[in-house]
Amino acid sequence: MASVTVGPMEAQIAPSFADADSDAWVAALRAPGPAREAASARLHELLLRAARFEVNRRRVALPHLRGDDFDDLALQSADDALMAILAKLDSFRGESRFTTWAYKFALLEAAVKLRKRAWQGREVPLKPETWELFAAERSSPQGRAERGELLGELQVAIDGELTPHQREVLVALAINGVPIDVLAERLNTTRGALYKTLHDARRKLRAHIAGKGMALESASEEEGR
């Protein structure tokens, strides 16, 4: 994942979690020769533990994989996370424990690989026929009239106000539940770019509904909090 400049948030003074253990990790990983190799090996063990944790959380969703497949996924995730961490070591700001900072790389690598594996060989639905799914949701027996009316107006906005790309992304991510990493791979783009598209599409939908004088939050969130 590409790094970005966070901007104004970087100026905020947050509680520092820098500790001796984190300092020791960074120093060892920057040391020359055998000390660095030893630290890298210890870090790999840590990352493998994190990757296995993520694999174990998700393995029930992948019943067609064998134990060896999960082991390979965890190992590959730890390998890739180690490479990413060593390349980005200078970006560790000491605002969390080093281990927490490192974990997130392994968890991300494992989660992305597992989502992609779960969708391997499956068609990613992007096309207009998926509106049948939307219609089926709309006619759900649990649906109240207010939400049905809102969903109907949203379909008008989706058809009429979104660009074709925004419509495809919204249909795939929000209606059909395609994981964003899977869609990014299929469309040869990035998670960040897709989320920006989704965000823009959602803003258009909200503006359309507001323009119609319809209430948003009461319909979508009152039972969701």
Instruction: Examine residue 174 and tell whether it contacts another protein (CB under 8 A).
Output: yes
One-letter amino acid for residue 191 of the chain: R
Distance CA 155, CA 213 (A): 16
**Closest C-alpha to 157, from 209, 214, 195, 213:** 209
Residue found by looking up tokens 């009152």 in the block: 222
Using the rule CB under 8 A, give the single segment among 9-17, 30-38, 69-77, 116-124 that binds another protein. Answer: 9-17
Instruction: Examine residue 90 and tell whether it contacts another protein (CB under 8 A).
Output: no
* The two three-digit tokens of residue 59, written as one number: 């393995």
User: Which member of 31, 41, 86, 104 binds another protein (CB under 8 A)?
Assistant: 104
Instruction: Examine residue 131 and tell whether it contacts another protein (CB under 8 A).
Output: no
Using the rule CB under 8 A, give the single segment among 24-32, 62-70, 95-103, 119-127 that binds another protein. Answer: 95-103
Neighbours of 204 (CB within 10 A): 17
CB 169 within 8 A of CB 110: no
Q: How many positions of this chain bind another protein (CB under 8 A)? A: 63
Helix%, strand%, coil% for the chain, nearest 5? 70, 0, 30
User: Which member of 82, 168, 179, 197 binds another protein (CB under 8 A)?
Assistant: 179
Distance CA 169, CA 205 (A): 14
- CB nearer to another protein: give 7 or 34: 7
Instruction: Examine residue 9 and tell whether it contacts another protein (CB under 8 A).
Output: yes
Instruction: Examine residue 151 and tell whether it contacts another protein (CB under 8 A).
Output: yes
149: phi then psi, degrees, rounded to nearest 5? -65, -40
Measure CA 221 to chain center: 22
Show the site string, 183-212: x = touches another protein by CB under 8 A, - = not: --------xx--xx-xx--x--xx--x---
Listing DSSP states for 62-130 in one string gives: -TT--HHHHHHHHHHHHHHHHHHHHHTGGG--SSS-HHHHHHHHHHHHHHHHHHHHHTTT-----SGGG
Using the rule CB under 8 A, give the single segment among 59-67, 71-79, 104-112, 124-132 that binds another protein. Answer: 104-112
Instruction: Examine residue 120 and tell whether it contacts another protein (CB under 8 A).
Output: no
Binding residues vs another protein (CB under 8 A): 1-4, 6, 9, 12, 14-15, 17, 50, 53-54, 57, 95-97, 99-101, 103-104, 107-108, 111, 115, 134, 137-138, 140, 142-144, 147-148, 150-151, 154, 158, 170, 173-175, 179-181, 191-192, 195-196, 198-199, 202, 205-206, 209, 216-217, 219-221, 223-224
